Amino acid sequence: MQKIVSLDYIDNSSVCCFNRTWQDVPMWAHYGENHTDYCLGFRFEDGWSEHAIPIEVDYVLDRPKIDLSLDTKRNRGAADQFVRDALLSKSVHWQREDEVRLVRSGVPAGHFEFPVEALQELILGYRISAENRNRLLALVDRRPLPLRVYKLKPHYERYEFEAEPLRP
């Protein structure tokens, strides 16, 4: 993990959570509004600011014990562990999510910008409404760079999805 200097990092940071795959059926039920929503596919390799650090989540049995009495301004190791425990720990019950969190400092909560070239694809849930589908496709049409768009459909033989290309 990259070094984080102080608790100010937590107070002035935003966290955005990602799954490594769109093919996780329970994830669509949990986070995709029961297959009526959409998924954005990003490329993390380049183009991201040095202030946006993708970090794997730690799946643990016990809640982290966070010692608020530690002097994290003087103890860099304690600061790093505090941030990791506070922002990057999750119950082992969620381990199948294989989550990565993008932590960005100096950004208000709920506001997370990304490089336009990092967004690679839009995957529509198989139960998305026609209204939402059309609204999203209109946004794709206004985008300066091409974007692959897929619509999911249930596989007929297996408990998984197939991605049907709408826009290559």
Per-residue pLDDT band at 152 (split at 50, 70, 90):
very high
Cα dihedral 77→109→24→53 (10° resolution): -40
Provide the pLDDT confidence category of residue 76 given band limits of 50, 70 and 90. Answer: low
**Mean pLDDT along residues 38-65:** 82
Query: Residue 162 pLDDT more than 80?
Result: yes
Return all residues near 76 (Cβ < 8 A) that are at least 6 apart: 3, 5
Q: Give which of 69, 78, 91 is closest to 9, Cα–Cα.
A: 78
Mean pLDDT (the chain, rounded): 83
More confident residue, 158 or 106: 158
Q: Count of alpha carbons within 13 Å of 1, Cβ hemisphere only?
A: 23
Parallel/antiparallel/unpaired status of strands 148-154 and 161-167: antiparallel
Query: Residue 127 belongs to what H/E stretch?
Result: none
pLDDT at 20 over 90: no
Q: What is the pLDDT of residues 95-127, one digit of tens each?
A: 988 999 888 777 777 777 788 888 999 999 999
Q: Report residue 20 CA to chain centroid gap.
A: 9
Candidates 56, 46, 51; CA nearest to 18 is: 56
